[in-house]
């Protein structure tokens, strides 16, 4: 019997994951706006987020949430962190018992500081919760470039079933039981990508950007371990792999935010000009709070927060980073 997949969220990454799944199993994509669902069904395109890319012929879309999830054997959440809980609560009455729920969202909930799999556990207790993460730029995958990702969930049987569901020749999927590490890495790398983008906007060199990426990896490792993640995770696909892709790619929306800030635009101007969510803006606030909660130094996250929420400039942030003392590189990771 084929496994039926429902992907909730018609943004660039949700659409891309639905496109991948449709190669191997019946897949339905839920869009909040009926006109988006109609376009996917009639034209095999999503011009709002993926203009110029054609989707799999067997992918079906709907704007009816009950229709999307009521027969699904796997539910995939591809909505931003700020609407993750509300969409899942709306879908919950229609999700059959024990169906796994997998998150694509790389963020942390404002206020509660909950990871997305924690929200799944709160809204749908008893359902296996998983996360798919890694260096995955949607347009490159639709073009057919090789990429890899990791499915993180504590149950090895569920992990392997999900791996087989999404693994294919040019999209290689691995497994990792460290859900905490994978989710923290995925959320915090967006904050570091804003810092890396600011370096580009300010005209800094590759040495500067490499330093930001490397010290950013130290920060996300430090926080991830403090929250219960495994140190090895941060040198893998969910950590270093995703961090590099997000910090260097012109397709990265978080790097784009930083670049625009470095060129002198305000955060409000940058957000207003975008049609997609850059999770790092809101995550910077949560990461700052978590760093304080765990008593950790998080200089890059703190400086990004100051630019995104306190009116500092990108130049202020880089001057601020120079105020932090140096010392043993591996001290506290």
Classify residue 171 by its DSSP letter.
E
Catalytic residue list contains 189? yes
Q: How far is CA 268 from CA 31, 194, 203, 285, in A?
A: 26, 15, 22, 16
Domains of the chain by start residue, with CATH? 5-177 (3.40.50.720), 180-321 (1.10.1040.10)
* 272 has pLDDT over 90: no
Angle at 77 between CA 75 and CA 98, to 5 degrees: 30
Quote the CA–CA distance of 327 and 315 in Å, as a whole number.
Answer: 24
Q: Mean of the pLDDT values across residues 199-222?
A: 94
Q: What is the pLDDT of residue 324?
A: 81
Q: Mean of the pLDDT values across residues 149-158?
A: 97
Q: What is the pLDDT of residue 323?
A: 81
Quote the CA–CA distance of 232 and 217 in Å, as a whole number.
Answer: 12
pLDDT 10s digits, 27-66: 999 999 999 999 999 999 999 999 999 999 999 999 999 9
- Cβ-proximal residues to 171 (8 Å cutoff; 6+ apart), any chain: 20, 141, 146, 147, 148, 149
Q: What is the pLDDT of residue 332?
A: 52
Q: State the pLDDT confidence band at 333, using cuts at 50, 70 and 90.
A: very low
Q: State the pLDDT confidence band at 327, using cuts at 50, 70 and 90.
A: confident
Q: What is the mean pLDDT of the chain?
A: 94
- Cβ-proximal residues to 51 (8 Å cutoff; 6+ apart), any chain: 45
Catalytic, out of 106, 161, 189, 209:
189
């Amino acid at each position: 019997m084929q496994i039926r997949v429902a992907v909730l969220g018609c943004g660039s990454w949700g659409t891309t994951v639905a496109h991948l799944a449709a190669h191997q199993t019946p897949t339905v994509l839920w869009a909040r706006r009926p006109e988006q669902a109609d376009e996917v069904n009639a034209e095999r395109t999503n011009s709002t987020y993926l203009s110029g890319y054609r989707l799999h012929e067997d992918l079906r879309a709907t704007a009816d949430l009950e229709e999307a999830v009521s027969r699904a054997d796997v539910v995939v959440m591809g909505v931003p962190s700020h609407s993750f809980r509300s969409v899942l609560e709306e879908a919950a009455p229609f999700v059959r018992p024990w169906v796994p729920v997998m998150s694509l969202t790389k963020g942390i909930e404002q206020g509660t500081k909950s990871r997305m799999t924690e929200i799944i556990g709160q809204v749908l207790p008893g359902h296996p919760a998983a996360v798919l993460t890694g260096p995955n730029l949607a347009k490159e995958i639709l073009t057919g470039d090789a990429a890899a990702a990791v499915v993180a969930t504590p149950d090895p049987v569920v992990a392997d079933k999900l791996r087989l569901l999404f693994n294919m020749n040019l999209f290689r999927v691995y497994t990792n039981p460290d859900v905490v590490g994978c989710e923290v890495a995925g959320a915090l790398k967006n904050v570091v990508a804003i810092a890396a983008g600011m370096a580009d906007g300010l005209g800094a060199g590759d040495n500067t950007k490499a330093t930001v990426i490397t010290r950013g990896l130290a920060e996300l490792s430090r926080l991830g371990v403090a929250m219960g993640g495994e140190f090895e995770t941060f040198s893998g696909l969910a950590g270093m792999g995703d961090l590099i892709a997000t910090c260097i790619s012109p397709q990265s929306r978080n790097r784009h935010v930083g670049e625009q800030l470095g060129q002198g635009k305000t955060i409000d101007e940058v957000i207003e000009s975008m049609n997609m969510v850059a999770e790092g803006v809101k995550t910077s606030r949560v990461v700052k709070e978590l760093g304080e909660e765990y008593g950790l130094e998080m200089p890059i996250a703190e400086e990004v927060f100051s630019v995104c929420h306190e009116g500092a400039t990108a130049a202020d942030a880089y001057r601020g980073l120079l105020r932090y003392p140096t010392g043993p590189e591996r001290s506290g990771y």
